[in-house]
Every structure is written in C-alpha cells, then in structure tokens.
Structure 1
Amino acid sequence: MNASELLSHCLAKPGAWQDEPWEGDVVVKVGPKIFAFIGDPAKSESVGVKCGKGRDAADEWLARYPDDASASAYIGRHGWNTLRIGGAIPDEEIVEAVDASYTSVVSALPKKDRP
C-alpha cells in the first residue's frame, strides 16, 4: 500500500473530503474535522491518525511497532500517532487504524454534522 491508495480509501468513507490546510500537506476530513493526515500523497511514507482518546491508548502502537509508530507532533498528547506505511505495520492494520480514526472523529461530531 502507498499513500495514494490510502487516500483513496479515506475518500471512499461517507462524508469524507480532501483538504490542504497547509501547502503541500493533504488531510482528509469528515465534517469540519481531520481524521487522517496524509501529507503529499506522491511522496508520503506515513499517515497520522487518531489512535485513542489519549496517550495511554495510543502508546500501545508505539510499544508494538517502536520503529514504525510515533506520537504525532503537537497533537500526540490527544491520542494521535504517525504510522509508517510500508514498514513493519501490516497494511491491514494501517487501514484498521484509519477506519478507527474516522469512527472516533465521526462519533465526536455534533449529530447535525455526522454523515
């Protein structure tokens, strides 16, 4: 799997849309909230996703994949991790992490903004 394929998976989700809030950095949102940080789909080797309600749950990824998972800069304390694509983390687990991030973000949206 590569970042472009992962972006396509993200955009297939109900209500998902692509945004570029920072030049050259693609994110995928549902409603007004980001659920996946892709970066440049042609070059990116990682995805940023919500991996739990806080650092404790997200740290499980770091323990399982110390070389391929890290706390996301600035928002890591809120349960966001950066997962390396093409490393030790199986593609299926990356897809599951993206799906869980989407579900987590959707569940926190006001009902009027949910797809």
Structure 2
Amino acid sequence: MTPQELSDFALELPEAFDDEAFGPGATVFKVEGKVFAILQDPSGERPAQVTLKCEPDLALHLREQYAAVEPGYHVNKRHWNTVVLNGTVPVEEVREMVEHSYDRVVSGLPKATRDRLRLLRAA
C-alpha cells in the first residue's frame, strides 16, 4: 500500500480528517479530534510507515506474523503498532489495521458520538 492509498482510505472513514499536528513529514488522521493513524513520509532509505492503534493481543499477533509490523514508534507500544509500508504486508491487511484502529478510537468516544459514527459507517 502506498502512502497516498493509505491516506485516501483513511479519509473515507466517517468524519476522518488529517492534519500535520506533529509538523511536516507526519500526517495525523483523526476522528472527533482523536488520533487513529500517523503516517510518516519516507526519508533516506526508510520507507513510509504508519502507526495505528491496536488491541494489545492482536498487536502482538501482527508483530509475530509480519516483520514489517513493529511496536509503535513514540507511542504506547502495548496499544500501538507501526507498519512499515514496504509492500510485505498485504494491502487488505493494512486496510483492516486502519479500520481496527479507527474502531478502537471510536469505541472510546461518548455513546451518542459512537452511535452516530457507526450509523454513518454502516450506510
């Protein structure tokens, strides 16, 4: 998955928006002001990477399954994974990780907001 494909996909989620809250080179995707993805541009020989929220047991499983999935960079490593976008993780798997991260963030929002976002997602 390319950084542009990831960005396009993340922005398709209900009420998702992006900004550069951490400065240039890192696009932050949010819903209701809460971060669900951080996309870092490639630099030097390092490919682009995305940091995503993840249920702790699933986070460990994904790290075991894919060498390109690492503990979250500069975030709580128990609840976040960083995925190196080098083509070794299937596109559909990356999409599922983005959706899972979005859902994890939405689940922590107030009930009325959760219900509204879930209705928009189901539509």
State the TM-score bracket (shorter-chain normalisation): 0.7 to 0.9
- Scaled by the length of structure 2, what TM-score is found? 0.80
Residue 106 of structure 1 deviates from its aligned partner by 0.7
**Higher alpha-carbon Rg:** 2
Paired position in structure 2 for 1:60: 61
Aligned length: 112
- The list of structure 1 runs, each at least 4 consecutive aligned residues, that deviate by more than 4 angstroms after superposition, is none
State TM-score, norm by structure 1.
0.85
Shift of 1:44: 5.5
Distance 2:92 2:78 in 1: 24
Please list every run of 5 or more consecutive structure 1 residues that lacks an aligned counterpart in the other structure.
none
Aligned partner of residue 98 in structure 1, secondary structure: helix
Identity, % of aligned pairs? 36
Cα distance in 2 for partners of 1:29, 1:7 equals 12
Which structure has more strand as a fraction of its residues?
Answer: 1
Over residues 68-89 of structure 1, what are the superposed CA-to-partner deviations in whole Å (9 max), with x where a residue is unaligned?
0100123233410001223321
- Within 5 Å, which residues of 2 pair with 1:1-115? 1-24=1-24, 25-40=26-41, 45-52=48-55, 54=56, 56-65=57-66, 67-114=67-114, 115=117
Seen in structure 2, the aligned counterparts of structure 1 residues 74 and 86 have a Cα distance that, compared at 3 Å, is closer
**Root-mean-square deviation (Å):** 2.1
Q: 1:78/1:110 Cα in 2 relative to 1: closer, same or farther (>3 Å)? A: farther
